[in-house]
Amino acid sequence: MSNFLPYLIKSTICISLLYLLFRTVMRKESFFALNRMVLLSIVVISAVIPLLYLPGAIQSPVQVELLPVFAPVEVQTGAIPAIDLENLTSIEASVAQESRPDIADQNWTFSKQQLLQYLYLAGFLFTLLLLLRGLYTLFSLFRRAKTVQMDGYRLLVIEKEIAAFSFGRYVILSQRDYEEHRQTLLAHEQAHIRLYHFFDLLLLETFRIFHWFNPAIYWLIKDLKEIHEFQADDYTLIHGIDATQYQLLIIQKGVGAERFALANSFNHCQIKKRITMMNKSKTNKAGSWKVATFLPLLALLLMAFGKRGENVPEKINLPGKVTAPSVIVPKQNELTNQIIEIKKEGNYIDNKLCTLQEIATKGQEWNKASNKWILLMVDESISLNRIDEVREALADASVNFVTQSTINSDDIVFFAGDVSESAKFTQGKWGDWMMNKLNNSPEIKANIGKYKLTYSFIIDRDGKVKNAHLIKQCDIPEVNAAYEKILAQIPDWEPARRGSSKVSVYYRFTGFAKYVAPVAKK
């Protein structure tokens, strides 16, 4: 509901402004089909605009670059003050009593947003119940009617006096109208059926349930029903009904209230307006240019209420930089002055774009200058190959003590030698498990002595195996595929620890073409 209410407000503003423009520019024109299409389009567009994403060409282009900022953490040492256990209970009781909210206030206090939600839901349910009540009354009327099967629709004749109307593919007439004005009224109601006016009303009544509070939707429905009557009048006169007799019948029947929201009633719409429209010269088709007046307003509404930023192109070179803090485990603060940033556009050290050779050289300098670890700060959605090439460049330069983290993550992936307790394989010995898998692989057996490859994986804080993949493949595709299949089957481990904390750890292995034959039992 918290997301629906803002959407509803935007949709309400859209339909109100678009309908106001329609009333100003097009309402008095006599191109009924175009007016009908415009009103229906207003409803659909008002529902869709708040859901649309702005095209990249009209968004405000901003390049956002996230740079890690590491705030120093001061650790205070000293004697811990003694706790007065005798007063502890009384202090806790006092705090609990002061912080406990009053139960009566808690039960009857609502925020403004909650009140708006409850008010909206009440109106929604009330409007829905009114529509259901009308449908129930209508279907009750159907059960009492005499049915006559006509060509393409059903005629229901009712004993009581009731204004003629159509509902879906049903036409309802009173017995008196059936006997005295059958031809004229049936021609009129057939027009509603053949022009599919029922589906217009179905759409608008559904929309009205959600927009029950907006006067514009009621005026829009009223105008659309008038257009339906104008179209049906045109259709009736074209099919040979005498215009004078038809207008006299409209005057005769032009009393009584509209009964059903989803029905097109013969006596709906003001008598004077219907007769005026029948006698009015049709608007020149050239006047349809007025539809173009909606384009500027549609563009403004799209810019005002369209969603932004979700479809910005991935590769875009624009100025602008935003610095955002990255969350780092406090114990790693002493390592953060030796950071290699792996971003989509390249690898950086101290905000300078670096080649792999420059990274290897800098890693060697750091190793000589201090014994601190090197941290790889990786942007989200970076491929494993990009991380591998940096790690391998450092490994080739004999820089092995490397940790890794993802931007805005508190999870540090440690090197296997930087944990106080290694991860433990849960199904016996890791080497035995791996060797058994290799021995059972036909592809491995068929290529003994022909390959060498390197693979790695991460065991996270929950003991799950992540990012298991080949770093360096061999020249035999079947062997590579066999290893990838085995790596995907690695079960869970008991996570590694640093002190009492569970941590993620990185493992790297080299696979040789060594086959160990099973020992025959004597």
Q: Is 483 helix (H, G, I), strand (E, B) or coil?
A: helix
- Say how far apart CA 258 and CA 161 lie, in whole Å: 14
- Say how far apart CA 296 and CA 169 lie, in whole Å: 39
Query: What tens digit of pLDDT does each residue of 326-374 get?
Result: 444 444 444 557 889 999 888 999 889 999 999 999 988 888 877 777 8
Query: What tens digit of pLDDT does each residue of 176-195 get?
Result: 888 888 888 888 888 999 99
- Say how far apart CA 159 and CA 176 lie, in whole Å: 8
Least confident interval from 392-396, 399-403, 452-456, 490-494: 399-403
**pLDDT given at position 414:** 87
Pick 273 or 72 by higher pLDDT: 273
CB 264 within 8 A of CB 165: yes
45 pLDDT band (50/70/90 cuts)? very high
Query: What tens digit of pLDDT does each residue of 96-136 get?
Result: 444 444 444 444 556 777 888 889 999 999 999 999 998 99
pLDDT at 402 over 50: yes
DSSP states of 147-166? EEE-SSSEEEEESS----EE
Q: Mean of the pLDDT values across residues 259-279?
A: 63
Fold of 418-512: 3.30.1150
Structure tokens at 378: 């990786």
pLDDT at 43 over 70: yes
Q: Is 510 helix (H, G, I), strand (E, B) or coil?
A: strand
| pTM confidence score | 0.50
pLDDT at 296 over 90: yes
Query: What tens digit of pLDDT does each residue of 438-455 get?
Result: 888 888 888 877 788 889
In the chain, what is the straight-line distance between the N-terminal and C-terminal CA atoms, in Å?
74
| Percent of residues, the chain, with pLDDT higher than 90 | 28
Query: What tens digit of pLDDT does each residue of 137-177 get?
Result: 888 888 888 888 888 888 999 888 888 888 888 999 888 88
- Say how far apart CA 423 and CA 100 lie, in whole Å: 45
| Percent of residues, the chain, with pLDDT higher than 70 | 75
Residue-wise burial string across 371-401, b where 16 or more C-beta atoms lie within 10 A, e elsewhere:
eebbbbbbbeeeeeebbbbbbbbbbebebeb
Cβ-based burial of 343 (10 A; exposed 0-12, middle 13-18, buried ≥19): middle
CB 62 within 8 A of CB 56: no
Give percent helix, percent strand, percent coil of the chain, each to the nearest 5. Answer: 50, 15, 35
Least confident interval from 101-105, 183-187, 207-211, 494-498: 101-105
**pLDDT given at position 338:** 84
**pLDDT given at position 72:** 45
- What HEC string does 406-454 produce? ECCCCCEEEEHHHCCECCEECCCCHHHHHHHHHHCCHHHHCCCCCCEEE
Beta-carbon-side half-sphere exposure of residue 502 (alpha carbons within 13 Å)? 11
Structure tokens at 490: 């690695």
What's the distance, CA 328 to chain centroid?
A: 31
Structure tokens at 324: 């955002």
pLDDT at 269 over 60: no
**pLDDT given at position 97:** 44
Kindly give the pairing relationship between strand 501-512 and strand 412-415: parallel
Q: Mean of the pLDDT values across residues 201-213?
A: 94
Supply the Cα-derived Rg of the chain in whole angstroms. 38
- Say how far apart CA 321 and CA 339 lie, in whole Å: 19
Q: Mean of the pLDDT values across residues 244-260?
A: 69
DSSP state of 421: B
283 pLDDT band (50/70/90 cuts)? low
Q: Is 240 helix (H, G, I), strand (E, B) or coil?
A: coil
Least confident interval from 61-65, 275-279, 340-344: 61-65
CB 446 within 8 A of CB 519: no
pLDDT at 295 over 90: yes
Nearest Cα to Cα of residue 205 among 303, 128, 284, 268: 128
Cβ-based neighbours of 276, under 8 Å, separated by 6 or more: none
Least confident interval from 23-27, 89-93, 356-360, 381-385: 89-93
- Domain boundaries along the sequence of the chain: 1-56+114-313, 330-410, 418-512
263 pLDDT band (50/70/90 cuts)? low
pLDDT at 267 over 50: yes
Q: What is the mean pLDDT of the chain?
A: 78
pLDDT at 65 over 50: no
Least confident interval from 28-32, 146-150, 205-209, 496-500: 28-32
Q: Is 497 helix (H, G, I), strand (E, B) or coil?
A: strand
265 pLDDT band (50/70/90 cuts)? low
Nearest Cα to Cα of residue 478 among 508, 446, 456: 446
**pLDDT given at position 298:** 93
Give me the sign of the Cα torsion angle 354, 359, 361, 363.
Answer: positive
**pLDDT given at position 400:** 76
Pick 220 or 145 by higher pLDDT: 220
CB 381 within 8 A of CB 299: no
Nearest Cα to Cα of residue 204 among 189, 226, 187: 226
| Host H or E run for residue 16 | helix 4-25
